[in-house]
Amino acid sequence: MHPVLNDLIALLKLERIEENIFRGDSRDIGSAQVFGGQVVGQALSAAQHTVEGRVAHSLHAYFLRRGDMNAPIIYDVDRARDGGSFSNRRVVAIQHGRPILNLAASFQILEGGLDHRAEMPDVPPPDGLKDLTEVAADILENIPMKLRRFMTGKRPFEFRPVEPLGLDRRRKLPPKKLVWIRAVDSLPDDQALHQNLLAYVSDFELLATSTLPHGLSFTRHNVIMASLDHALWFHRDFRIDEWLLYSMDSPNASGARGFARGQLFTENGNLVASTSQEGLVRVIDSARKQRRSDPREQS
């Protein structure tokens, strides 16, 4: 298996310390703190370790504090309920004695029922589209070095935008984004693993969709963005090592918060998952650039 993908899988597996307590490490992907998708994916993994014979169908997470990449994260699972068809778990991610994330996840036995789905947007297939690594040199020169390393380095996922993302773009655009995503190598037939990896990758670029109509970009240091919550619903089985279209839009921004939602489709049009996220989106001026810190620590 591709070493970068293999490392991510190991990162999401966690170490069991006690029956309901797990420990995870972190990886620096170029952000100022632990990547939120990593904490969500690990928290889901911790919950999965305490459930048998049932598959996750939804999760809801609140980000409380920024994560420290140099310290382990402890995941404490509360087995809230095991019913006839559903199980519910509450997970608290802890660093330095304080919670950094709360997550609730619900699991269900496999059963049939009504079936309909939204239609996939009419977009070009991933073949022929450029990967995110193929970014113009003039754009790379204007983004932070850590982000530049992420953009051009080896990653566990391929990202093929339907339209160029324009990381340093100043034009005001509609609040919509379409990206094909896929793991860089084949994976085992383990739906829990595919769900963990989707939880991880679903945090990429979602909140940033809410900045598109305003010509803002964190690469230009004129906006602070911090995820406040993240929700994910799994509708159907899928494989993250096969192409999924991530269709994102932002119907609202107000009160220094942006709201975005997403749908993930297989190449043949099956809707397999939906996401939503709200985050703090705060425009900053030159004077405030010198005293930026995590807005969640100030609230």
So which residues are the catalytic ones? 203, 227, 277
The residues with which 76 forms a beta bridge, in sequence order, are 21, 92
Alpha helical stretches, state H, 1-101: 3-13, 36-48
Contact 242, 185 (CB under 8 A): no
Short-list 299, 294, 255, CA closest to 278: 255
Give me 239's structure tokens.
């494989």
Contact 285, 216 (CB under 8 A): no
DSSP state of 214: G
Q: Strands 98-108, 86-95: parallel, antiparallel or unpaired by DSSP?
A: antiparallel
CA dist 106 and 183 (Å) reads 25
Which run of H or E residues covers position 191? helix 191-201
The residues with which 104 forms a beta bridge, in sequence order, are 60, 90
CA dist 85 and 57 (Å) reads 12
Task: Sort 89 into a burial class: Cβ within 10 Å, 0-12 / 13-18 / 19+.
Answer: buried
Give me 16's structure tokens.
């069991």
3-state secondary structure of 231: strand
CA dist 63 and 67 (Å) reads 9
3-state secondary structure of 199: helix
